[in-house]
Amino acid sequence: MMTMRVLRLVVHVRTREPVLLLGEVDGERCLPVFLRRPQADAIALGARGEDDPQLPQDVIVPLLQGLGHEIVGAEIVALVDSKFQADLVFADGARVELRPSDALAVAVREGLSIGVESAILDDVGQPIADLFPDGTDAPPEKQLEDFKKFIDEVSPEDFA
C-alpha cells in the first residue's frame, strides 16, 4: 500500500467531471481519480475546521467514535472494469467498502491517511513529471497549466 497526498482537484475539460490527483508521498507517481460532484465539493473545502458547518461526510467520524470505532484512513484497493474500489479502514483492522469519492471525502475532511494499492499505481499510475514538468513546487498557475494539458487528453477509459 502506497501512502498518497492530494496534489490537486480540477475539472476535466471535456466531461466537466471533477478529478482528484493523488501523488505518492515517497515516490514519483500520481493517480487521477474521477469523483462525483458532491464529494468533490467537500474535498475542495479541505480539512474540516471546528467552526465549519457539518457536511454529511463530517457526521460519519463522530458518529462512529461515539459507537467506539476509530477510522484511520481511506484506501483505494482495486481497479475493476475501469472503476476504482475503496475502503474506509478502522484502527482494529475492520474495513467498510465505499465509493472512492465518499472514502476520499471522509479522509480529506478528517485529515486521515490515503493509500493506494501498489499494483494499481503500477498499472495506471502516471509519472508526476509528465503532468507537472516544472515540478509540484512550481507556482500554482504553472502547475495548473501543465495539468490541464494532461487532463484534456485523458478519460476514465484510459485507466482500463
Q: Could you tell me if 31 and 125 are in contact, meaning their C-beta atoms sit under 8 angstroms apart?
A: yes
Residues of the chain with pLDDT under 70: 132-160
Please report, for the chain, the start and end positions of each structural domain, with discontinuous segments joined by +: 2-47+55-159
- Residue 62 CB burial class (10 angstroms; 0-12, 13-18, ≥19): exposed
- The second-level CATH assignment, the architecture, of 2-47+55-159 is Roll (3.10)
What integer pLDDT is reported at residue 22 of this predicted model? 94
pLDDT of residue 137: 60
Residue 137's nearest CA partner among 129, 125, 149, 126 is 129
Tell me the whole-structure pTM to 2 decimals: 0.78
pLDDT (tens digit per residue) in 47-75:
888 777 778 777 888 888 889 999 999 99
Residue 23 phi, psi dihedral angles, 5° rounding: -120, 145
Q: What is the predicted pLDDT for the residue at 150?
A: 62
pLDDT value of position 147: 60
